[in-house]
C-alpha cells in the first residue's frame, strides 16, 4: 500500500514570524503516530529556520523550485546542493505557476527533475491541463505530453512523486470532482507502467492538487489512485492543514 502524503505549498506567503506560528499550530494538532507523511514547502529563505521549527515532529520540508545547474553565474537562483544544505528532502518541479508565469518549458523541467534526483532528493513533478485543454477534450493528451517530455525509466521511481494539479482548479475554489480526478490519476498510473513497470508504478505516489480544503479532502483522498494532496491556500491555516491530514486517515 502507498503511504499517503499531504504536502503544503506555501507559495509566496509567510514571513518568519507567521511561519513559526503556522508550523507550531500544525505540530500541535498532528498525530505523530498516524500513517501519513507530511511535507511543508515554504519559500526558500524560510527553509533553515523551519528546519529548526519542525525538529521532533514528523514534518518534512521541501522547496518550491530549483535551478537545474549545480552552480554558476545564475543570479537569484539556488541549486539542489544548496537546498540539500537546509535539510529539505523534496523539491516541487514544474508547478503550473512556474510554467505559466515564469515560462518554464518541458526541456528545462526535465533537467530540473534530473538535477533533483541526481542530488539525492525527491522530485514532486507537477502536471495538469488548463481549462481550455479540458474543454477541448485534450486533458489526457496534455498529461501524456507532460509525462513523455520529462519522465524516463532512468529516474529512480523511489525519488519521484507525481502531482496532478488541473490548472483550472488552482486557487479558484473549483475542484475536480473525485471521479474526474480519479480518472486522470488512473491514466497517469497507466502511463507510469509504460515508463517503469507495473510493480514500480503501483508504488509511486500521485498527489492531487487544486483547491483541496477540509470539506472536500476526504472524498478526493478516498479515490484508489489518489495518494495524497498538494495543498495551496488551505495549508496556510494550521487548523485547515491539520484537518486535511486527518481527512486522509478517515478516507483510507
Ligand atoms: P490551491 O490549493 O490554493 O488551489 O493551490 C494548489 C496548488 O497550486 C498547490 O501546489
For residue 207, list its beta bridge partners: 163
**Which uninterrupted H or E stretch holds 199?**
helix 198-203
User: Which of 9, 100, 167 for mutating ligand 1's site (highest number of atoms within 8 Å of CB)?
Assistant: 9
Pair 66, 47: CB distance under 8 Å = no
pLDDT (tens, 9 = 90+) of the chain, 252 residues, equals: 899 999 999 999 999 999 999 999 999 999 999 999 999 999 999 999 999 999 999 999 999 999 999 999 999 999 999 999 999 999 999 999 999 999 999 999 999 999 999 999 999 999 999 999 999 999 999 999 999 999 999 999 999 999 999 999 988 888 889 999 999 999 999 999 999 999 999 999 999 999 999 999 999 999 999 999 999 999 999 999 999 999 988 876
Of 68, 90, 165, 185, the active-site residue reads: 165
Q: Is the pTM of this model over 0.85?
A: yes
Residue nearest to atom 9 of ligand 1 (CA): 232
Pair 63, 91: CB distance under 8 Å = yes
Of 67, 68, 90, 95, the active-site residue reads: 95
User: Which of 209, 235, 247 for mutating ligand 1's site (highest number of atoms within 8 Å of CB)?
Assistant: 209
Is 239 assigned a catalytic role? no
What is the Cα–Cα distance from 162 to 175, expressed in whole angstroms? 18
Fold exhibited by the domain 5-251: TIM Barrel (3.20.20)
Pocket of ligand 1 (CB under 6 A): 9, 95, 165, 170-171, 209-212, 230-234
Is 67 assigned a catalytic role? no
Question: For the residues of 63-127, what is the DSSP string, one character each?
Answer: ES---SSSSSS-TT---HHHHHHTT--EEEES-HHHHHTT---HHHHHHHHHHHHHTTPEEEEEE
Which of 15, 102, 95, 5 lies closest to 50, judged by CA? 15
- Kindly report the number of other CB atoms within 10 A of residue 166's CB atom: 28
How far does residue 9's CA lie from ligand 1's centre (Å)? 7
How far does residue 97's CA lie from ligand 1's centre (Å)? 10
Domain ranges of the chain: 5-251
For residue 160, list its beta bridge partners: 123
Amino acid at each position: 500500500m502507498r503511504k499517503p502524503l499531504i504536502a503544503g505549498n506555501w507559495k509566496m506567503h509567510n514571513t518568519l514570524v507567521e511561519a513559526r506560528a503556522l508550523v507550531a499550530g500544525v505540530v500541535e494538532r498532528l498525530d505523530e503516530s498516524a500513517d501519513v507523511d507530511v511535507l511543508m514547502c515554504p519559500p526558500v529563505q524560510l527553509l533553515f529556520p523551519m528546519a529548526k521549527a519542525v525538529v521532533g515532529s514528523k514534518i518534512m520540508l521541501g522547496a518550491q523550485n530549483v535551478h537545474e545547474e549545480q552552480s554558476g553565474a545564475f543570479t537569484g537562483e539556488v541549486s539542489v546542493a544548496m537546498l540539500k544544505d537546509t535539510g529539505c528532502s523534496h523539491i516541487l518541479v514544474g508547478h503550473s505557476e512556474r510554467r505559466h508565469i515564469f515560462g518554464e518549458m518541458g526541456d528545462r523541467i526535465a533537467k530540473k527533475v534530473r538535477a533533483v534526483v541526481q542530488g539525492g532528493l525527491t522530485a514532486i513533478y507537477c502536471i495538469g491541463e488548463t481549462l481550455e485543454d479540458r474543454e477541448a477534450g485534450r486533458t489526457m493528451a496534455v498529461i501524456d505530453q507532460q509525462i513523455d517530455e520529462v519522465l524516463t525509466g532512468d529516474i529512480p521511481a523511489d525519488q519521484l512523486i507525481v502531482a496532478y494539479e488541473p490548472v483550472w482548479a488552482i486557487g479558484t475554489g473549483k475542484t475536480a470532482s473525485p471521479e474526474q480526478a480519479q480518472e486522470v490519476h488512473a491514466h497517469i498510473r497507466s502511463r507510469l507502467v509504460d515508463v517503469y513497470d507495473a510493480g514500480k508504478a503501483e508504488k509511486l505516489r500521485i498527489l492531487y492538487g487544486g483547491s483541496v480544503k477540509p470539506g472536500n479532502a476526504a472524498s478526493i483522498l478516498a479515490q484508489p489512485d489518489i495518494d495524497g494532496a498538494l495543498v495551496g491556500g488551505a495549508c496556510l491555516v494550521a487548523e485547515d492543514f491539520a484537518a486535511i491530514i486527518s481527512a486522509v486517515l478517515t478516507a483510507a
